[in-house]
């Protein structure tokens, strides 16, 4: 039995469909089961509740031997630290998985070994330490910047010919497509051979600067698109205007500052860490159609 968290999330739903297509027995934890597609409600066991709750996660793991784990983001106006959110969310699951011998495939950040503070990314790395310290059989999918983050700006790319981030224009920014994350997660959950703890970095085959990304986006959309860098103080101010708490805004700023400082270069990557989907392919297959719709 495989337990799956965040079954309606960008990554979770793709992992879930792969597992169901493989014919696996799956149990999903959902705070709002009504949001689950009909085919999931008929083919998977559903546990109503939050995977942060000790009673819920313990019940869900009863009789299971594998789990897909992803901590959802804290509320935008959450006043506390991201690290506390990640660790509070994970403790009960970590204890239950260790006690029951459940193998866990988790979503985390690339950057293990980075010595500075990194906002949201530091929180994810602290979560990994918790799993490993408890002796959980754990595979940490270590991820950089999601290509799908750019989908939020598809309309702006089409109408204004720009996209904007706070990342340095001329510093390579490793990326990954969520479909590749889901493919590797599902493969690990279906593989009975691994034990112990290890990290699994996943990065697209080419690493481009945001300026180079803009050139690729221009080709995919068939119109000039330029990159606009947002200064970090302006980025923080925009987050606050959008309703973020001061703590949340600072966590996002800390994340981007660490990306600009090379956090993703701190963790060694083997040649096998390259994923199937390149940025150009993703722009042609996903971003281009989204911008035209």
The whole-number average pLDDT for the span 184-200 is: 96
Percentage of the chain exceeding pLDDT 70: 100
Mean per-residue pLDDT over the chain, rounded = 95
List strand residue ranges (DSSP E) for 128-250, in order.
Answer: 138-143, 145-146, 162-165, 175-176, 197-201, 226-229
DSSP state of 32: -
The whole-number average pLDDT for the span 170-189 is: 98
pTM of the model: 0.95
- Compute the C-alpha angle 227/231/237, nearest 5°: 120
| Within a domain: 267 | no
Q: What total number of domains does the chain contain?
A: 1
| Within a domain: 239 | no
Percentage of the chain exceeding pLDDT 90: 93
Q: Which stretch of 7-21, 67-81, 205-219 has the lowest confidence by average pLDDT? A: 67-81
| Within a domain: 183 | yes
Q: Is the per-residue pLDDT at 180 higher than 90?
A: yes
pLDDT for the residue numbered 126 = 97
| Within a domain: 41 | yes
pLDDT higher at 271 or 65: 65
- Compute the C-alpha angle 153/155/157, nearest 5°: 70
| Within a domain: 75 | yes
Give the tens place of pLDDT for each residue, 59-71.
999 999 999 999 9
Task: Give whole-number Cα distances, 120 to 73, 125, 203, in Å.
Answer: 9, 9, 19
Chain centroid to CA 36: 20
| Within a domain: 208 | no
Give the tens place of pLDDT for each residue, 197-246.
999 999 999 999 999 999 999 999 999 999 999 999 999 999 999 999 99
pLDDT for the residue numbered 293 = 80
pLDDT level of residue 272 (50, 70, 90 thresholds): confident
The whole-number average pLDDT for the span 164-188 is: 98
pLDDT for the residue numbered 93 = 96
| Within a domain: 280 | no
Give the tens place of pLDDT for each residue, 99-140.
999 999 999 999 999 999 999 999 999 999 999 999 999 999
Q: Which domain holds residue 67?
A: 2-146+175-202
| Within a domain: 260 | no
Q: Please, which residues bridge with residue 203 across strands?
A: 274
197: exposed, middle or buried (Cβ count in 10 Å: 0-12, 13-18, 19+): middle
Give the tens place of pLDDT for each residue, 246-255.
999 999 999 9
pLDDT for the residue numbered 152 = 96
Residue owning tokens 């959110």: 85
Give the tens place of pLDDT for each residue, 90-104.
999 999 999 999 999
pLDDT for the residue numbered 76 = 81
3-state secondary structure 158-197: HHHCEEEECCCCCCCECEECHHHHHHHHHHHHCCCCCCCE
Residue owning tokens 């530091």: 122
User: Distance between CA atoms of 44 and 31, rounded to whole angstroms?
Assistant: 15
Q: Is the per-residue pLDDT at 77 higher than 90?
A: no
pLDDT for the residue numbered 22 = 94
Q: Please, which residues bridge with residue 79 across strands?
A: none
CATH number of the domain residue 101 falls in? 3.40.50.720
Q: Is the per-residue pLDDT at 271 higher than 90?
A: no
pLDDT for the residue numbered 21 = 95
């Amino acid at each position: 039995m495989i337990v799956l968290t965040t079954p309606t999330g960008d990554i979770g739903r793709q992992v879930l469909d792969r597992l169901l297509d493989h014919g696996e027995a799956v149990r999903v934890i959902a705070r709002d089961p009504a949001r689950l597609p009909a085919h999931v409600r008929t083919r998977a066991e559903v546990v109503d509740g939050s995977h942060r709750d000790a009673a819920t996660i313990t019940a869900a793991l009863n009789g299971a031997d594998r789990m897909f784990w992803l901590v959802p983001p804290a509320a935008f106006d959450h006043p506390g630290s991201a690290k506390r959110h990640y660790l509070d969310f994970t403790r009960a699951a970590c204890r239950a998985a260790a006690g029951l011998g459940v193998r866990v495939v988790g979503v985390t950040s690339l950057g293990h070994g980075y010595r500075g503070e990194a906002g949201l990314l530091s929180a994810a790395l602290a979560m990994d330490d918790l799993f490993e310290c408890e002796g959980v059989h754990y595979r940490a999918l270590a991820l950089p910047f999601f290509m799908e983050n750019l989908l939020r700006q598809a309309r702006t790319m089409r109408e204004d010919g720009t996209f904007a981030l706070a990342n340095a224009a001329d510093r390579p920014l490793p990326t990954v497509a969520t479909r590749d994350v889901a493919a590797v997660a599902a493969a690990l959950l279906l593989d009975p051979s691994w034990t112990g703890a290890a990290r699994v970095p996943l990065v697209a085959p080419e690493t481009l600067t945001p300026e180079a990304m803009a050139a690729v986006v221009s080709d995919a959309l068939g119109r000039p698109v330029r990159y606009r860098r947002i200064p970090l103080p302006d980025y923080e101010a925009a987050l606050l205007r959008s309703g973020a708490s001061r703590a949340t805004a600072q966590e996002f700023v800390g994340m981007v500052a660490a990306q600009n400082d090379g956090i993703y270069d701190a963790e060694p990557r083997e040649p096998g860490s390259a994923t199937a989907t390149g940025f150009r392919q993703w722009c042609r297959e996903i971003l281009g159609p989204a911008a035209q719709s």
